[in-house]
Structure 1
Amino acid sequence: MNNPIRRATAQDAAAISQVIIQSLRQSNARDYPPDVIAQVEKNFAPQSILALLGQRQVFVATIDHQVVATASLDRDVVRSVFVHPEHQGSGLGSKLMATLQSAAQGANIEVLRVPSSITAEGFYLKLGFLKVRDEFHGAERTIIMERRSNPD
């Protein structure tokens, strides 16, 4: 089973959208009400993904040439880390995060930040991120976390 990580291309937009929406509906739905999931989904339609490709460093993980996970770096902020539910727990999220951390170090970014969902908080804690504060956008709770590039 081959799972290279590479930069996303415009041809990946629909597949990235599907991975994110499936993850939201199956994984995040345990922690957020349906109206919050529906609102967040709107941000990840294929056209929205195309726009993000021009604004962020977007990466994908593939298995047998199929996109199964994605993550992006928007300067010093980790965004949109999603692994298709069938592949969660397989290490793909950690591999994507290592790719983002390497890109951040290459850009001399000392502190990476991530607006984490409730669902992903434990994942980021295992990777050395620490909670800074909670933010609320209506009913949506986001946990702001950060990690130093070279923890002392």
Structure 2
Amino acid sequence: MAEARIRRALDSDAEAISGLIVQTLRLSNAGDYSPEVIDRVAANFDVAGVRGLMASRQVFVALDAARVIATASLAGDVVRSVFVLPELQGRGVGRVLMRHVEGLARTAGIQQLRVPASLTAVPFYKALGYAVVREVVEGDERTLVMARQLNVG
């Protein structure tokens, strides 16, 4: 599965990205967050929300044939909104997508990437060499900001 093709997201991908993110939140993150937190986070990723993100950051998709199976975005030195379809998690798609984003960041001269990680995603980012920098608590939602040095040059 790690041979997924990665490209910049197109406006026509917004609906698929929205569906992917909401499904992943509801299935993969349900063990770590209350339904209220998931509903609140999912509301940010409706189609209009995804289009807004696409206008303000570099959004990428991983494709299996023509199907969007994962997404990630880069906003300066911060990786955001990394999601892989639940049935494909653990098959290397997220790793390939992160390596793509890290490569772009390196090319841009970024020396350290940060990622606000859900509790669910911390083991994934740790496996990629990210370390917890600090905890962020907003009401009943906890995330961990993680960071990784990039070898630039």
Partner of 1:5: 6
Contact 2:61 2:68 (C-alpha < 8 Å) held by counterparts: yes
Partner of 2:78: 77
8 Å contact kept, 2:106–2:151: no
Aligned residues, how many? 151
Cα distance in 2 for residues equivalent to 1:150 and 1:130: 16
> RMSD of the TM alignment (CA)?
1.2
SS at 2:120's partner residue?
A: coil
Tell me the distance in 2 between the aligned counterparts of 1:129 and 1:3: 23
Q: Deviations over 1:46-93 (max 9, x none)?
A: 111111111111100011210010000000000000001111111110
Extract unaligned runs of 5+ from structure 2. Answer: none
Give the match's secondary structure for 1:44: coil
Q: In the TM superposition, what is the alpha-carbon distance from 1:150 to its structure 2 partner?
A: 2.0
Alignment of 1:121-136 (within 5 A): 121-136=122-137
Matched position secondary structure for 1:120: helix
Output the CA distance in 2 between the equivalents of 1:76 and 1:146: 10
Letter aligned with residue 129 of structure 2: G
Q: Distance in 2 between matches of 1:89 and 1:62?
A: 16
Query: Structure 1 residue 103: deviation in Å?
Result: 0.8
CA–CA distance in structure 2, aligned partners of residues 30 and 115 of structure 1: 18
Q: Deviations over 1:104-143 (max 9, x none)?
A: 0011000100000000000000000010111001111000
Give the deviation of 1:148 after TM superposition: 0.5
Which aligned pairs between 1:2-151 and structure 2 lie closer than 5 A? 3-150=4-151
1:17-52 deviation line (CA, Å, top 9, x unaligned): 000001000000110000000000011001111111
Shift of 1:3: 2.2
How far apart, in 2, do the equivalents of 1:50 and 1:131 lie? 30
- TM-score between the two structures when normalised by the length of structure 2: 0.96
| Alpha-carbon distance in structure 2 between the residues aligned to 1:40 and 1:18 | 13
TM value normalised by structure 1: 0.96
Gaps of 5+ in 1: none
Write out the 4+ residue segments of structure 1 that deviate beyond 2 Å after TM superposition: none
Identity of matched residues, %: 51
